[in-house]
Structure 1
């Protein structure tokens, strides 16, 4: 990370409870991702955020409009 680049913020929403698959019901990170977050660089953090979004969509927590991009 460059000296001017700010760290990617944690997706934690203070609803900290792991489901049966060890995924947080609040932020959708795995227990391992939560544990490693402080040691990740920004590229790793962005990759985890993408996985969190995919998990949320798969669980019906985020709705996607057909034909629309999330970006």
Structure 2
């Protein structure tokens, strides 16, 4: 198991949408706050959730 913490996905485009999701990194406001104290495993979970949100947003724009 990899215990190395992943890097923050922040791209310095910090703007929350109506669902409190950052339009830059696709993390929720709660996930952004949790990031600083999260374990490496939790950070990977947050990244996976953000990736699903990014993909869903891309799918919506392509329709």
Which category of TM-score, normalised to the shorter sequence, fits these structures? Answer: 0.7 to 0.9
Residue in structure 2 matched with residue 54 of structure 1 by the alignment = 52
Equivalent of 1:21, from 8, 13, 19? Answer: 19
- Runs of 4 or more, structure 1, over 3 Å off, are none
TM-score (norm 2): 0.84
Bigger radius of gyration among the two: 1
Q: How many residues align?
A: 58
**Counterpart-to-counterpart distance in 1, 2:57 and 2:50:** 11
Structure 1: which 5+ residue stretches go unaligned?
A: 62-71
Considering only aligned residues, what root-mean-square deviation do their CA atoms show, in Å? 1.6
What is the SS of the residue equivalent to 2:32? helix
TM-superposition CA deviations, 1:39-61 (whole Å, max 9, x none): 00000000110111100010117
Q: Which has the higher contact order (CA 8 A, sep 6+)?
A: 2
Question: What does 1:1-71 align with in structure 2 at a 5 Å threshold?
Answer: 5-60=3-58
Structure with bigger helix share is: 2
TM-score (norm 1): 0.75
